[in-house]
Structure 1
Amino acid sequence: MADTRPNVLFVLTDQERYDCSVPESLDGSGSESPTGGGAAPAVEGVLAPPVETQAMDRLSRQGTRFEHAVTPISICSSARASLLTGQFPHGHGMLNNCHEDDAILPNLSPDIPTFSEALADAGYDLTYTGKWHVGRDATPEEYGFSYLGGSDKHHDDIDEAFREYRRERGTPVEEVDLEEKIYTGEDPRDSSEGTFVAAKSSIDVEDTRAWFIAERTIEALEAHAEGSRASDLESDSADAAGEDRRPFFHRADFYGPHHPYVVPEPYASMYDPDEIEPPESYAETFDGKPRVHENYLAYRGVEGFDWELWSEALAKYWGFVTLIDEQFGRILATLENLELAEETVVVHASDHGDFAGAHRQFNKGPLMYDDTYRIPLQVRWPGVTEPASVVREPVHLHDLAPTFLEIGDVEIPESFDARSLVPLLEGNGGDESDDRGSGQNEWPESTFSQYHGDEFGLYSQRMVRTKRHKYVYNGPDVDELYDLAADPAELQNLIDHPEYADVRRTMRDRLIAWMVETDDPNRGWVPEALRQAD
């Protein structure tokens, strides 16, 4: 009997800001118009920048967009491990990036259940292209996927597929001319020091890793349509025609728009730096903020960056987003051409965001602003999601783990500390509760995120966020409280404001509830410290 469960196409971008793909077709109330057109006013505090994201916008028009999705942690390996396991970082143990010398864990424990292994065991055919970054040694192959190429030598060195592709095209990865280069440090044009931030590449679009990952994804979709198995795709032998088709799960992980923001034409000059205005948060004074915020400017090497330099880098970042979006468009077109669109759930998300000059910061770090913690999340499920619908309930990136399993009619492991988004996708989210929510018809009013430090050392933080407020616990320094409606740029820390005393208490209670419910290892002493703080 034919397996009628839907296919899943999951496209994950790397360090994409939420506001890059806020659709332009919005009315003054923040609701979306399926017809498009018009300017982009603020959406719950977000002013959409003029970034061309036609594929992502199309996904929002045809499906559901989540307005308050956050990552459980704003660092690559940790967030991706959470996505696989449905657990917060303190649960799966990958607290920082696996490729650095200071990695707490070099690989995700094989004993922790993952959604991918559960789908594979339940008969799904799983394929994977692009970035991995969940282990130095362990690869997608060990978690139920067949890996089809596209790895990056810095974070993952899984195969030679992309490098061989470039050699065959006559444009070896190591021999590319770059222009308009920007580096951190005292001299932003000096490549001998600092971190590589942005540049214009001399290669063709077809030479980019984004193109290659899309191309391998298209090949995978074509093979799935023909009835080939993942093992056949991996060995380049697609002669499995006639076998009963299994539903597929394909994951395409783009290396971008993570820095360095290196793009070829036309993307390198698509956005004019002279026409890019500073975000409101660029007025950051660091007054009343944890000391590490201002110190991080020097640590990241951007203390001397002015807006002229930031706008040049941001223009490349936006160009990178558009480059990836157009590759996503190629993938969506392939689904249509193969007549797979109606039987395939399409999901787009990002592991976390990017400062890209907001708060005058670079990359990410111990700063729990929406620039890096709020993420894009869009889902198109034909016959289930209502076109141009918006979900305003707060959700987590790793809520996708149980969501994928429920879509595939697979039992969700008890180890998952996440909730399936299927009720929200069906429009049956129900009433919100006062804390995390405990009933089938309830949904939490808040999300919970954390940070444990990366390159510069451990730095424990916890964050609870509602649609209106955000509270950040900073053990070694002052805590933070923001009114996201009155101050969407998060410039004014209200932690000691007398008029926000009740909000502070409520948000601390929410944080304590999350820590207790998720068995946070700091729950033994932080709750009492917070209770005594008022």
Structure 2
Amino acid sequence: MASQGSDRPNILLIFSDQFRSDCLGVHGHPVVQTPHLDALAGAGVTFRQAHTPAPVCVPARTSLLHGCWPCRHGCLMNDGLGVPHPDTRGLPSYSRQLAAGGYWLGHIGKWQVSAGNPPASFGFHESNPAGGYGAWRAASGLPARPHRNGWFGEVDPAIQPEQSRLGWEAGQVVEMLERASHRDQPFMVRWDTSEPHLPNVLPEPYASLVDPSQVPPWPGFADSLVGKPFIQAQQRRTWRLDGWSWQDWAPIVARYLGEVSLLDAQVGRLLAALDRLGLAENTLVVFSADHGDLCGSHGLIDKHYVMYDDVTRVPLLVRWPRGLVRPGRQSDAMVIQALDLARTFCEVAGVPVPETFQGRSLLPALADQPEASRQDVFSMYYGNQFGFYTQRMVRGPRWKYVWNATAEDELYDLEADPGELQNRAAEPSCREVLQAHRRRLVDWMHEVGDPQLNPWIRDQLLVPLKP
């Protein structure tokens, strides 16, 4: 039987796509309905300051697999953009470490890492990719998912919730858990959803679950973009979003929140399966995401060319009900989520942590033990579908600094301006804060081996600011 009482727990990782951290009931959203995720948080620990190492799918997911920064694994952009991904099979991964240590590994859903190499290349014993959903719909006599409204989402009238991609994949995860429960070894099952990434095409009743008139604007919605990098206004024009009011955005956001609730319902199915199979007490359950989503914040869509909390902050809920975690605790520990998870998976499984891993263990924070917590978190970006664009971010409890290699610096006082509406980098009163964050960024780039830190960039960042 799978691990039910041994010291080595099973692991269930639910890794969503483009999930805003603030779209959870436990995080205070006034409209969204997430009872199962809220219950998961109530039985475990919620990390309120978990941030992605890179707010793009491929770099973030590859960082999770290999436990290192994108500048080290080399997968810098998404697929199909003319920038080839390196073959990372030669890098250590948490999955191969677990497999070598006696774990059985299964994967369902989106993958999107490392030059197209499948999960089997990294130690997974069984996988079923997300691409099979379209074929399943066709074989079931269902029409293809509609795409009349482009990236802005719509109702999928031909299906029931269990026939959605989320419902279809969740059913496979339950079956995988059932098979794994009969093995005489611990398991790790990983489900990478493709949702709530846009476009949000979803069935009733979830498509109409949220009344658009009840959806409040994001704190960062009313942004003039004055004093900010030109590319943000350019992105707004490229997507033809200039002049959009909140009334234009609210139906899109409502569908996004409906998709979040559809995902929440599937999480409930998985948690119920763990209970039914007698696995809940010895299974570490983790819910997170690769990055967030603008979804109208700052008048923008998707996640590219910005480092707002909308896209860098991710949900991170961890349940381990063996007396090691105080239920319902909310932690403000600064977490670089993908890197820290990779190390933590190795530690809880009792397997060696590769020297190439660059994250920190979450175990002290999970056990509510005194720890040498980070003072800040970082993220890096290289560009995406509209070309190269170099960014680095350092974020502490109060201040966020964004270095844009070819545009203005950004500096936000998160206590006074949680929506990140006012760029204060050019203000004389913030000169010392800006200089200190530039120095911290240089130190970090050196620590992680960021090749972007050449002598020219170092001089640019460290040159004394003029009064």
TM-score range, shorter chain: over 0.9
User: Within 5 Å, which residues of 2 pair with 1:283-294?
Assistant: 283-294=222-233
Q: In the alignment, is the contact (CA less than 8 A) between 2:31 and 2:214 conserved in 1? A: no
* Residue 483 of structure 1, aligned match among 372, 390, 413: 413
Query: For residue 169 of structure 1, what is the amino acid of its counterpart?
Result: S
Query: For residue 318 of structure 1, what is the amino acid of its counterpart?
Result: L
Q: In the alignment, is the contact (CA less than 8 A) between 1:515 and 1:523 conserved in 2? A: yes
Matched, 1:258 2:186: no
Q: What is the aligned partner in structure 2 of residue 412 from structure 1?
A: 353
Q: What is the aligned partner in structure 2 of residue 91 from structure 1?
A: 72
> What whole-Å deviation, never above 9, does each CA across 1:292-335 have from its counterpart, x for those lacking one?
11111122333354322211111110000000010001100110
Q: In the alignment, is the contact (CA less than 8 A) between 1:51 and 1:318 conserved in 2? A: yes
Q: In the alignment, is the contact (CA less than 8 A) between 1:182 and 1:313 conserved in 2? A: no
Q: Could you tell me how far apart the structure 1 residues matched to 2:227 and 2:67 are?
A: 35
Q: In the alignment, is the contact (CA less than 8 A) between 2:87 and 2:115 conserved in 1? A: no
* Residue 451 of structure 1, aligned match among 340, 361, 381: 381
Q: Could you tell me how far apart the structure 2 residues matched to 1:49 and 1:125 are?
A: 40
Query: For residue 340 of structure 1, what is the amino acid of its counterpart?
Result: L
* Residue 179 of structure 2, aligned match among 223, 230, 236: 223
Q: What is the aligned partner in structure 2 of residue 64 from structure 1?
A: 45
Q: What is the aligned partner in structure 2 of residue 200 from structure 1?
A: 155
Q: Could you tell me how far apart the structure 2 residues matched to 1:323 and 1:489 are?
A: 27
Q: Could you tell me how far apart the structure 1 residues matched to 2:411 and 2:327 are?
A: 35
Q: CA deviation at 1:448?
A: 1.1
Q: CA deviation at 1:136?
A: 5.0
> What whole-Å deviation, never above 9, does each CA across 1:74-130 have from its counterpart, x for those lacking one?
110010000001111101000001x2132241x542111110011111110000001
Q: In the alignment, is the contact (CA less than 8 A) between 1:482 and 1:492 conserved in 2? A: yes
> What whole-Å deviation, never above 9, does each CA across 1:125-157 have from its counterpart, x for those lacking one?
0000011111453111111113432413xxxxx
Structure 2 vs 1, CA of residues 150 and 111 (structure 1 numbering), >3 Å: closer, same or farther?
closer
Q: CA deviation at 1:492?
A: 0.5
Q: Could you tell me how far apart the structure 2 residues matched to 1:392 and 1:305 are?
A: 35
Q: CA deviation at 1:443?
A: 2.2
Q: Could you tell me how far apart the structure 2 residues matched to 1:72 and 1:217 are?
A: 27
Q: CA deviation at 1:280?
A: 2.8
Q: Could you tell me how far apart the structure 2 residues matched to 1:165 and 1:477 are?
A: 46
Query: For residue 165 of structure 1, what is the amino acid of its counterpart?
Result: W
Q: CA deviation at 1:520?
A: 0.8
Could you say what the CA RMSD is over the residues aligned between the two structures, in angstroms?
A: 1.7
Query: For residue 170 of structure 2, what is the amino acid of its counterpart?
Result: A
Question: Tell me, what secondary structure is at the counterpart of 1:473?
Answer: strand
Q: CA deviation at 1:420?
A: 1.4
Query: For residue 263 of structure 2, what is the amino acid of its counterpart?
Result: I
Q: Could you tell me how far apart the structure 2 residues matched to 1:292 and 1:339 are?
A: 52
Matched, 1:400 2:341: yes
Q: What is the aligned partner in structure 1 of residue 97 from structure 2?
A: 118
Q: In the alignment, is the contact (CA less than 8 A) between 1:150 and 1:209 conserved in 2? A: no
Which structure ranks higher in relative contact order (CA pairs < 8 Å, sequence separation ≥ 6)? 2
Q: What is the aligned partner in structure 1 of residue 448 from structure 2?
A: 518
Query: For residue 198 of structure 1, what is the amino acid of its counterpart?
Result: G
Moved over 6 A (4+): none
Q: In the alignment, is the contact (CA less than 8 A) between 1:63 and 1:385 conserved in 2? A: yes
Query: For residue 383 of structure 2, what is the amino acid of its counterpart?
Result: G
Query: For residue 208 of structure 1, what is the amino acid of its counterpart?
Result: S
Q: Could you tell me how far apart the structure 2 residues matched to 1:14 and 1:516 are?
A: 30
Matched, 1:324 2:279: no
Q: What is the aligned partner in structure 2 of residue 43 from structure 1?
A: none
Q: Could you tell me how far apart the structure 2 residues matched to 1:400 and 1:258 are?
A: 22
Q: What is the aligned partner in structure 1 of residue 13 from structure 2?
A: 10
Q: What is the aligned partner in structure 2 of residue 387 from structure 1?
A: 327
Question: Tell me, what secondary structure is at the counterpart of 2:459?
Answer: helix
Matched, 1:103 2:103: no
Query: For residue 489 of structure 1, what is the amino acid of its counterpart?
Result: G
Q: In the alignment, is the contact (CA less than 8 A) between 2:70 and 2:76 conserved in 1? A: yes
Q: Could you tell me how far apart the structure 2 residues matched to 1:136 and 1:264 are?
A: 33
> What whole-Å deviation, never above 9, does each CA across 1:258-291 have from its counterpart, x for those lacking one?
0111110001101111222322322101111111
Q: What is the aligned partner in structure 1 of residue 137 from structure 2?
A: 166
User: Within 5 Å, which residues of 2 pair with 1:304-343?
Assistant: 305-343=244-282
Question: Tell me, what secondary structure is at the counterpart of 2:23?
Answer: helix
Task: State the TM-score, normalized to the length of structure 2.
Answer: 0.94
Structure 2 vs 1, CA of residues 533 and 366 (structure 1 numbering), >3 Å: closer, same or farther?
farther
Q: What is the aligned partner in structure 2 of residue 530 from structure 1?
A: 461
User: Within 5 Å, which residues of 2 pair with 1:258-277?
Assistant: 258-277=197-216
Q: What is the aligned partner in structure 2 of residue 465 from structure 1?
A: 395
Q: CA deviation at 1:164?
A: 4.4
Matched, 1:74 2:55: yes
Question: Tell me, what secondary structure is at the counterpart of 1:339?
Answer: coil
Q: What is the aligned partner in structure 2 of residue 157 from structure 1?
A: none
Q: CA deviation at 1:523?
A: 1.8
Task: State the TM-score, normalized to the length of structure 1.
Answer: 0.83
Question: Tell me, what secondary structure is at the counterpart of 2:420?
Answer: coil
Query: For residue 461 of structure 1, what is the amino acid of its counterpart?
Result: Q
